[in-house]
Structure 1
Amino acid sequence: SVNIMLFFRLFFLSSDCVILLGAFLTDINLGIYTARLDLGRAIYSTSERLAIRYHSFEHVRFKDFIRGLVDANLTPHPTGPRPSPPRPREFLPAAVNAPVTIARLFERVNEYLDDHSIVIADVGNALFGASDLLIRHRTEFLGPAYYASMGFAVPAALGAQLGRPDLRPLVIVGDGAFQMTGMELGTIARFGLNPVVIVLNNAGYGTERHIHDGPFNDVAPWQYHRLPEIFGTGRAFLVKTEQELDHALDEATRHKSSFCLLDVHLDPLDKSAALGRLAERLSKKI
Structure 2
Amino acid sequence: MGLEAAVEAAAEFLNKAVKPVLVGGQNMRVAKACDAFVELADSCGYAVAVMPAAKGLVPEHHPHFLGTYWGAVSTTFCAEIVGSADAYLFAGPIFNDYSSVGYSLLLKKEKAIIVQPDRVTIGNGPAFGCVLMRDFLSALAKRLKHNPTSYENYHRIYVPDGLPLKCEPKEALRVNVLFQHIQNMLTGESAVIAETGDSWFNCQKLKLPQGCGYEFQMQYGSIGWSVGATLGYAQAAPEKRVIACIGDGSFQVTAQDISTMLRCGQRTIIFLINNGGYTIEVEIHDGPYNVIKNWNYTGLVDAIHNGEGKCW
In structure 2, the residue matched to 1:147 is: 220
Which stretch has the larger CA shift, 185-194 or 80-89?
80-89
Q: Is the 8 A contact 2:258 2:301 kept in 1?
A: no
Q: Provide TM-score, normalisation by structure 2.
A: 0.67
In structure 1, the residue matched to 2:297 is: 224
Give the counterpart letter for 2:160 in structure 1: P
Separation of aligned partners in 2, 1:19 and 1:259: 47
Please give the secondary structure, in 2, of the residue aligned with 1:45. Answer: strand
- Superposed CA deviations along residues 37-78 of structure 1, whole A, max 9, x for unmatched, are 2222222223485422122636435xx132133135224514
Q: Does 1:55 align with 2:129?
A: no
Which stretch has the larger CA shift, 52-61 or 191-200?
52-61
Give the counterpart letter for 2:135 in structure 1: R
Residues 233, 11 of structure 1: alpha-carbon distance in 2 compared, 3 angstrom cutoff:
farther
Please give the secondary structure, in 2, of the residue aligned with 1:166. Answer: coil
Give the counterpart letter for 1:120 in structure 2: I
Residues 129, 6 of structure 1: alpha-carbon distance in 2 compared, 3 angstrom cutoff:
same
1:1-286 superposed matches below 5 A: 1-47=71-117, 50-55=120-125, 57=127, 59-60=129-130, 64-72=132-140, 73-79=142-148, 80-81=151-152, 82-83=154-155, 86=160, 89=163, 93-232=166-305, 258=310
Give the structure, 1 or 2, with the largest relative contact order (CA under 8 Å, sep 6 or more).
1
Give the counterpart letter for 1:15 in structure 2: A
Q: Is the 8 A contact 1:193 1:258 kept in 2?
A: no
How far did residue 115 of structure 1 move? Answer: 1.8
Paired-residue identity, %: 25
Residues 231, 93 of structure 1: alpha-carbon distance in 2 compared, 3 angstrom cutoff:
farther
In structure 2, the residue matched to 1:249 is: none
Give the counterpart letter for 2:146 in structure 1: H
Please give the secondary structure, in 1, of the residue aligned with 2:270. Answer: strand
- Superposed CA deviations along residues 159-210 of structure 1, whole A, max 9, x for unmatched, are 2122222211110111111111122111111111111111111111001112
Give the counterpart letter for 2:143 in structure 1: L
Residues 216, 234 of structure 1: alpha-carbon distance in 2 compared, 3 angstrom cutoff:
farther
Stretches of structure 1 that go unaligned for 5 or more consecutive residues are: 236-256, 261-286
In structure 1, the residue matched to 2:29 is: none
Q: Is the 8 A contact 1:193 1:259 kept in 2?
A: no
Kindly report the root-mean-square deviation, in angstroms, between the aligned alpha carbons of the 2 structures.
2.7
Q: Is the 8 A contact 1:49 1:56 kept in 2?
A: no
Give the counterpart letter for 2:138 in structure 1: V
Q: Is the 8 A contact 1:233 1:258 kept in 2?
A: no
Separation of aligned partners in 1, 2:121 and 2:272: 40
How far did residue 130 of structure 1 move? Answer: 1.2
Q: How many residues align?
A: 236
Stretches of structure 2 that go unaligned for 5 or more consecutive residues are: 1-70
Q: Is the 8 A contact 1:85 1:134 kept in 2?
A: no
